[in-house]
Copies of this chain bind each other. A is one copy, B any other.
Amino acid sequence: MTDIATRVYNHAWKIDPIVRSVLDTDFYKLLMAQILHQRHRDTRVTFGIINRSKHIPLARLIDQGALRAQLDHIRSLRLTRGETTWLYGNMFYGKRQMFSPEFVTWLEDFRFPAYHLETHGDQLKLTFEGSWAETTMWEVPALAVIVELYSRAVTADMGKFELQVLYARAMSRVWEKIERLRRLDGLRIADFGTRRRHGFLWQDWCVQAMIEGLGPAFLGTSNCLIALRREVEAVGTNAHELPMVYAALADTDEALATAPYDVLADWQKHYDGNLRIILPDTYGSDGFFENAPDWIAKWTGVRIDSGDAIAMAERIIAWWKRRGEDPSQKLFIFSDALDIADIERLHVHFNGRVRLGFGWGTLLTNDFRDLVPGNGLEPFSIVCKVISANGRPAVKLSDNAAKAMGPPDEVARYRRVFGSSPGIVQQPLV
């Protein structure tokens, strides 16, 4: 018998909100925001959406009214009581009270700041301005909203059976990948797929499939809300925005050269253990390690997010050895556009020599490739990056020239200061 009340309720929705919680974001945002709130209250930044997949005409595919409705909904969100309880009471990375009462109180009062939306030809121009701690919170929900609106636009005209089969196929695909992962002894893998997920419910499904399919090999999810609801670990450490803003604010070339290390010096005042993970590639990983002070070699591990992962990890192992460290005690987190074959290859190559963790993103939570005609659900490469800090442009070089960003003269200056070559050029898949 049809449940009339439920049906009326469902069909009376003004919008179907994509992001329904302040915590529907990546855990590293909270770790970073705690530092930004404590140390960088006067830093004002601009974040902006960058669609690296220029062939995807986002402004034509996504209705701007619907996008505004979603962003406005996000601006209406506030931390709930249960979410506050989780931040205070939950154990994160083996530790309770990861977040100070002062930070949680700030987050309780937090509201997403204003956004600026316009179109440039076929592309959306969506930017956010404000204090660093507030503005950074937009990154993940802004991306999740754009990608899910895109998914919805592509699926809007599909029939009931077409949709059922679409999701059946996508589920089969995820499950087949999980079955392959089960064959990897000692695997440790986490979901990093919030930002470019097909949709919230789909990410939630993928996490539940990983929980059932992988058992303890599944480390947890970067998504705080799903970690809370599914009672798994919330995982993640830090991002490029930290060195990018520190670098933008450096007054001299000398200060610029030490900016990436200043980030880590600040970070280790707050976090230890498995949270001390170096993200070395912002201005070229090789230069980073070559010039790094010795104390950095004592950090727990490295996240490899661009470039040739195997070659880079081998060079890092050699670097640890030169600095007197035991690589077998060290941790690599691989997180660059991983799919199942990459995970298998990296696991086979490094397992037993170092500790390994995989941060599996878009190709976990948004692999609908070739499942609709015209491949309309192929994931695309979109990011939300810091563009400027206190009016100064932010720059990224990366180990992949396709991921570089910033004004050309600034990019040139950074290359000179960091002794960085443009490196390889890989069109980022996702």
Tell me, yes or no, whether A158 is within 8 Å of chain B by CB: yes
Cα distance, A39 to B13, chains bound together (Å) = 48
Complex contact A9–B163 (CB within 8 A)? yes
The verdict on A201 contacting B2 (CB below 8 Å), with A152-B12, A155-B8 known, is: yes
With an 8 A cutoff between CB atoms, is A167 at the interface? yes
Selected contact of A5 from candidates B6, B9, B13, B167, CB within 8 Å: B167
CA distance A29 to B12 in the complex (A): 32
**In this complex, what residue of B is CB-closest to A10?**
B10
Q: Report A184-214 residues with CB < 8 Å from chain B CB.
A: 199, 201-202, 204-205, 208
Enumerate chain B residues within 8 angstroms of A160, measured Cβ to Cβ. Answer: 5-6, 9
Judged by a CB distance under 8 angstroms, whether A311 is at the interface is no
Q: Which partner residue on chain B sits nearest A165 by CB separation?
A: B5
Give every chain B residue within 8 A of A166 (Cβ-Cβ): 5
Residues of B within 8 A of A6 (CB): 160, 163-164
Chain B residues with CB under 8 Å of A167's CB are 4-5, 8
Residues of B within 8 A of A163 (CB): 5-6, 8-9
Of B4, B164, B201, B208, the contact of A202 (CB 8 Å cutoff): B4
Does B4 lie within 8 Å of A201, measured CB to CB? yes
Most interface-central of A8, A158, A167 (chain B CB within 10 A): A8
Chain B residues positioned under 8 Å from A4 (CB to CB): 167, 199, 201-202, 205
**Chain B minimum-CB-distance residue to A152:** B12
B residues less than 8 Å from A13 (CB atoms): 11
- The reply to whether the CB of A16 lies closer than 8 angstroms to some CB of chain B is yes
Give A277 Cβ to nearest chain B Cβ, in Å: 33
For A7, the chain B residues whose CB sits under 8 A away are: 201
Q: Taking the nearest CB of chain B, how far is it from the CB of A210, in angstroms? A: 14
Report how far A7 CA is from B205 CA in the complex, Å: 13
B164 touches A5 (CB 8 A): yes
Distance of A160 Cα from B158 Cα, bound (Å): 28
Q: How far is the CA of A153 from the CA of B398 in the complex (A)?
A: 54
Question: How close is A112's CB to chain B, nearest CB, in angstroms?
Answer: 23
Residues of B within 8 A of A204 (CB): 2
A4, A13, A199: which has the most chain B beta carbons within 10 Å? A4
A9 vs B16: C-alpha distance when bound (angstroms): 12
How far, in whole Å, are A163 and B10 apart by their CA atoms in the complex? 11
- Chain B: CB-nearest residue to A202: B4
Bound complex: CA A195 to CA B154 (Å): 37
Minimum distance in angstroms from A314 CB to a CB of chain B: 41
Contacts from A to B (Cβ < 8 Å): 1-2, 4-13, 16, 152, 155-160, 163-164, 166-168, 199, 201-202, 204-205, 208
The 8 A-B pairs of least Cβ separation, nearest first, read: A5-B163, A5-B164, A5-B167, A12-B156, A11-B16, A9-B160, A4-B167, A9-B163
* Beyond known contacts A5-B160, A8-B163: 8 more, CB 8 A cutoff: A2-B201, A2-B204, A4-B199, A4-B201, A5-B164, A9-B158, A10-B10, A12-B155
Name 6 A/B residue pairs within 8 A (Cβ), A-sorted: A2-B204, A5-B164, A8-B163, A8-B167, A10-B11, A12-B156
